[in-house]
Structure 1
Amino acid sequence: MLEGGGRLLRKAFPEHWSFLLGEIALYSLLVLVLTGVWLTFFFHPEMREVVYDGRYVPLRGVRMSSAFDSTLYISFDVRGGLLIRQMHHWAALVFVAAIGVHLLRIFFTGAFRRPREINWVIGVTLFLISLAEGFAGYSLPDDLLSGTGLRIADGIMLSLPVVGTYVSMFVFGSQYPGEDFISRLYGLHILLLPGVLIGLVTVHLILVFHLKHTQWRGPGRTSGNVVGKPLYPQFTASSTGLALTVFGVTALLGGLAQINPVWAYGPYRPDQASTGSQPDWYVGFLEGALRLVPPWETNVAGHTLMWNVLLPAVVLPALLFLVLYAYPFVEQRLTGEWREERHRCDRPRDRPVRTGLGVAGITFYGVLLLAGGNDIIADTFKVSLNALTWILRVCLIAAPVLAFLLTRRLCHALLAEEQQRLSEGEESGEVRQTVEGGYESGHRPVTRFRPGAPRKPLTPHESRTGTPSRERPGPVRRRR
């Protein structure tokens, strides 16, 4: 047992900064749990109507739900309440962003390949649940902005053929907005979804420990080892520092950067809507998709199909996540790599097609995100909203294709330049005159250094994949 504990403490962790993205997500989740538990002591998840009589003078005497009243109470009457509430909101944004960027790192480096396909599926599921959890928390205050978002969510439910009305009635308890929705959403937000998130994170970390980390190619790094810092004390110290940094940054954001000022929006009323309202960034692409699809409707067997809602808000997200779930298995089948285990990361340039597809996906998402604020963009730059909408519609189709072609071409160019540098050598900085009277630059071979051995030129394969050497005698954890 002691020997097993010693092996665990000596487990090596890669030192590259890109491996810290997952830790940022983990520590953001910890901030969310701590601040969320504190907020539950003061929040009242009820839609019972009350008359506000708190410290915020502009809303005194206004009828509002108990949920919105308690949110104002937390913000203005509880000492440190606004700080904790804003820390909670900022940590949610950081959490979703860290998971998203972490998934991009896994995608572009090919760290989803065998034997880590299940961990990729867990990561995508974590991202999906974090979106739902963020939207649930965003909707709880029952202010005019979050109520507008719920109104859109109700429209998406109603767009489902045949069952849409039943789904809406089941979720809201009656005709929108109902009387029970906030209390139902509260249980989902503080119990069910966090439980699933924590459970999936636990399984994810267990698989990371069991399967070992991937690592970048380089001297001394093979498929049979991991080069990096041992778990104790180096990695523990650096990880603790990162955790404190995440706590500190979210505290600074909560204290200095205002976010979601619900008192400025007022309580939700079904007959009103916020102008210039924008959702949190992680659901902005859905807002943009809703704004870009033309008003298409058809009638089939007495049922109206609202394609302008069904396609962007139901079909599109389902397809996006289906592609994310299936991609590792499809790529490995097409490339024939499903039979072998892969423990080292690819450079994005070494996989031009995969990198091009990833950049095309990011471009597609970016266009949708811009479209989510097309009214604000048009007003700010004094351009026609209709013209801007048509431009974004064209970009939604053309921009990802161009991004794929340009990225793939750039990857091939980088590989060709690298191949030329390895074959001709790197420039030495010397310029000499030829017999014919022209000038040429001097080159020297690209070399690798082995302690106690002369310099030897690198082959193209060694430059791309790395070779085992004693160049970095760091802690090494052998794979089983």
Structure 2
Amino acid sequence: MADAAEAADERYLAAKLLRPRLNKVFPEHFSFLFGELALYSFVTLLLTGTYLALFFDPSMSQLTYHGPYSALDNSEMSKAFASTMRLSFEVRGGLLVRQIHHWAANVFVAAIVVHLLRVFFTGAFRKPREANWVIGIFMLLIAIAEGFCGYSLPDDLLSGTGVRIMSGIMLSVPLIGTWANWLVFGGEFPGEIIISRLYTLHILLLPGILLALVAVHLAGVWYQKHTHFPGKRGTERNVVGTRMFPPFALKSISLSIMTTGTLVVMGGLLQINPIFHFGPYLPGEASINSQPDWYLQMIDGAMRLWPELRIDLGHSYTIPSVFWPAVVLPLLLFGGMLGYPFVERKLTRSRGMHNVAQRPRDVPARTSFGVMVLTFYALLIVAGVDDVIAYAWRIPIERMVWIGRIGVLVLPPLAYLITHRICRLLQRADRDVLRQGVHTGLIELRDGGYYVELNQPLEPEPGEESMRYARYRGNPVPHLPGDLETSGADQARRR
């Protein structure tokens, strides 16, 4: 091994190439690992998807089922559904791999969302990283489209209902909706080619685009380096953290093993997408309590809450009410996400480089706006299961709809005000630390017979003339008398 490494270094200057890469510094905070969680979930998706593709038949040709699942014996179904049933009951490990694949898809999208939230709330999208923010938004869009395509492939009653809803959404688009629907389905819904087209998108086109975006995103992070949280050493001109090899490499490898192991356990113990309970898709039927995966449930909830608002354009064209929550709302949401870095830069007139992440409390307007949008999003997800809630709690569905409509109008602004207030209170607490020092929890008996708490003043930074200009950089809070620095105790007593 040593001889091979020496030969490679002699011929290709490998040590010169690898040394600066192995010395690259990565932040230590746990929140920076959500991007890696998405990456390892994506790797799991590729591996399990390759195994499933060996046995899946993306055909809508009809056949009569004769298999080990007796409840569907002699049922008419497509070859796509029959091959998924064969995967679940006849292929060794097929059901386990199917469920791992589905859970990995949900974790993948969730990790991207949480990663984007971390970037948003800490201001890591600011110059010079605007392009990587835009790439991340497109990755989220492609991941959602990829999840929908894979979710629809089994051609079961639940996924078929979702494809039918997609057809209705396309038909609601003015002028081009009918043509787009005929182009996608090759005629009237459901046609005979939609599953094969979704299969091609799912295993070739969309994964290829995702791989390209992941490569560009990682290259951007590698070249521009990570942001880091403010601290005693963190500035705009350096990078604070652990070196890539060996500490960060060991941490990353451990995360990949834990991610894969957790997904395997979830696939083995937690049932997801039991198509054998739903049965094959029939255009004249719809599954009760049918909800899509969580990342598409917002659109379902928005359509349930939106009032009837039909606009007739002359005698030939109509804009149905479903167009606004299913087409306009997602366009506004993702359009706002794409343009937010540039809008904030315009409003704040901030033109410099930003390598130090911001604490959410220090930017109350942005933090409050983000919480308001998250509240709106969460309410729409809850609205997507209003029929389940109404059935479980015996509430009339009409009342649930009105509760949801009032909620999306009242709760997001209320969340903004509450979050803004909390940020201001936290800022006030930080100012108290600057003026009085860190609370130690230690008390001292004074000569007058009363007790006072000892505070540990902050040490001034080099070049700072007085404590008035000192900044709170996360000094550890002492809990025992021995933890209190001598100089700090003396200053506290002098107070």
Q: TM-score, with normalisation over the residues of structure 1?
A: 0.92
**2:407 is aligned with 1:395:** yes
Say which SS state the counterpart of residue 344 (structure 1) adopts. coil
What is the match of residue 132 of structure 1?
A: 145
For residue 376 of structure 1, what is the amino acid of its counterpart? V
1:356-385 per-residue CA deviation (whole Å, 9 max, x = no partner) reads 011001000000000000010111111121
1:136-166 per-residue CA deviation (whole Å, 9 max, x = no partner) reads 0000000000000011101100101121111
**2:384 is aligned with 1:372:** yes
Task: Return the alpha-carbon distance in structure 1 between the equivalents of residues 117 and 468 of structure 2.
Answer: 30
Cα distance, 1:441 vs. partner?
3.7
For residue 394 of structure 1, what is the amino acid of its counterpart? I
Gap runs ≥5 in structure 1: 467-480
What is the match of residue 455 of structure 2?
A: 444
Task: Return the alpha-carbon distance in structure 2 between the equivalents of residues 175 and 98 of structure 1.
Answer: 37
Task: Return the alpha-carbon distance in structure 1 between the equivalents of residues 432 and 447 of structure 2.
Answer: 22
Cα distance, 1:421 vs. partner?
2.6
Task: Return the alpha-carbon distance in structure 2 between the equivalents of residues 330 and 465 of structure 1.
Answer: 31
CA-based RMSD of the aligned residues comes to 2.0
Say which SS state the counterpart of residue 444 (structure 1) adopts. strand
**2:212 is aligned with 1:212:** no
Compared CA separation, residues 458 and 231, structure 1 to 2 (3 A): farther
Say which SS state the counterpart of residue 447 (structure 1) adopts. coil
Say which SS state the counterpart of residue 225 (structure 1) adopts. coil
Compared CA separation, residues 407 and 460, structure 1 to 2 (3 A): farther
Compared CA separation, residues 219 and 464, structure 1 to 2 (3 A): closer
Cα distance, 1:125 vs. partner?
0.5
What is the match of residue 469 of structure 1?
A: none
Contact 2:437 2:458 survives alignment (8 Å): no
Compared CA separation, residues 458 and 229, structure 1 to 2 (3 A): farther
Contact 1:122 1:200 survives alignment (8 Å): yes
Cα distance, 1:432 vs. partner?
6.0
* Equivalent of 2:375 in 357, 363, 366: 363
Greater relative contact order (Cα 8 A, min sep 6): structure 1 or 2?
1
What is the match of residue 411 of structure 1?
A: 423
* Equivalent of 2:472 in 453, 456, 463: 463
What is the match of residue 353 of structure 1?
A: 365
**2:169 is aligned with 1:156:** yes
What is the match of residue 476 of structure 1?
A: none
For residue 138 of structure 2, what is the amino acid of its counterpart? T
Compared CA separation, residues 350 and 188, structure 1 to 2 (3 A): same
1:410-444 per-residue CA deviation (whole Å, 9 max, x = no partner) reads 10111012102321234453276897x9x674342
Contact 1:161 1:303 survives alignment (8 Å): no
Task: Return the alpha-carbon distance in structure 2 between the equivalents of residues 201 and 11 of structure 1.
Answer: 19
- Calculate percent identity across the aligned residue pairs: 48
Cα distance, 1:281 vs. partner?
0.4
Say which SS state the counterpart of residue 430 (structure 1) adopts. strand
Say which SS state the counterpart of residue 285 (structure 2) adopts. coil
Contact 1:447 1:457 survives alignment (8 Å): no
Say which SS state the counterpart of residue 242 (structure 1) adopts. helix
Compared CA separation, residues 180 and 410, structure 1 to 2 (3 A): same
Compared CA separation, residues 56 and 408, structure 1 to 2 (3 A): same
What is the match of residue 302 of structure 1?
A: 315
Cα distance, 1:330 vs. partner?
0.8
Gap runs ≥5 in structure 2: 1-12, 476-495
For residue 136 of structure 2, what is the amino acid of its counterpart? G
Mean alpha-carbon deviation: is it higher for 252-261 or for 386-395? 386-395
What is the match of residue 474 of structure 1?
A: none
Contact 2:232 2:473 survives alignment (8 Å): no
Contact 2:310 2:320 survives alignment (8 Å): yes
Task: Return the alpha-carbon distance in structure 2 between the equivalents of residues 164 and 333 of structure 1.
Answer: 36
Compared CA separation, residues 195 and 461, structure 1 to 2 (3 A): farther
Compared CA separation, residues 434 and 300, structure 1 to 2 (3 A): farther
Contact 2:35 2:112 survives alignment (8 Å): yes
Task: Return the alpha-carbon distance in structure 2 between the equivalents of residues 154 and 371 of structure 1.
Answer: 21
Contact 1:427 1:441 survives alignment (8 Å): no
Task: Return the alpha-carbon distance in structure 2 between the equivalents of residues 264 and 94 of structure 1.
Answer: 24
Task: Return the alpha-carbon distance in structure 1 between the equivalents of residues 320 and 121 of structure 2.
Answer: 34
Task: Return the alpha-carbon distance in structure 1 between the equivalents of residues 367 and 342 of structure 2.
Answer: 17
What is the match of residue 340 of structure 1?
A: 352
**2:131 is aligned with 1:118:** yes
Q: TM-score, with normalisation over the residues of structure 2?
A: 0.89
Written as runs of structure 1 = structure 2, the 5 A alignment for 1:309-320 is 309-320=322-333
What is the match of residue 272 of structure 1?
A: 285
Task: Return the alpha-carbon distance in structure 1 between the equivalents of residues 360 and 122 of structure 2.
Answer: 6
Cα distance, 1:348 vs. partner?
0.4
Task: Return the alpha-carbon distance in structure 1 between the equivalents of residues 168 and 355 of structure 2.
Answer: 46
Cα distance, 1:305 vs. partner?
3.0
Cα distance, 1:319 vs. partner?
0.2
Task: Return the alpha-carbon distance in structure 1 between the equivalents of residues 86 and 251 of structure 2.
Answer: 39
Task: Return the alpha-carbon distance in structure 1 between the equivalents of residues 61 and 295 of structure 2.
Answer: 30
1:246-269 per-residue CA deviation (whole Å, 9 max, x = no partner) reads 110110011110000000000000
Contact 2:460 2:469 survives alignment (8 Å): no
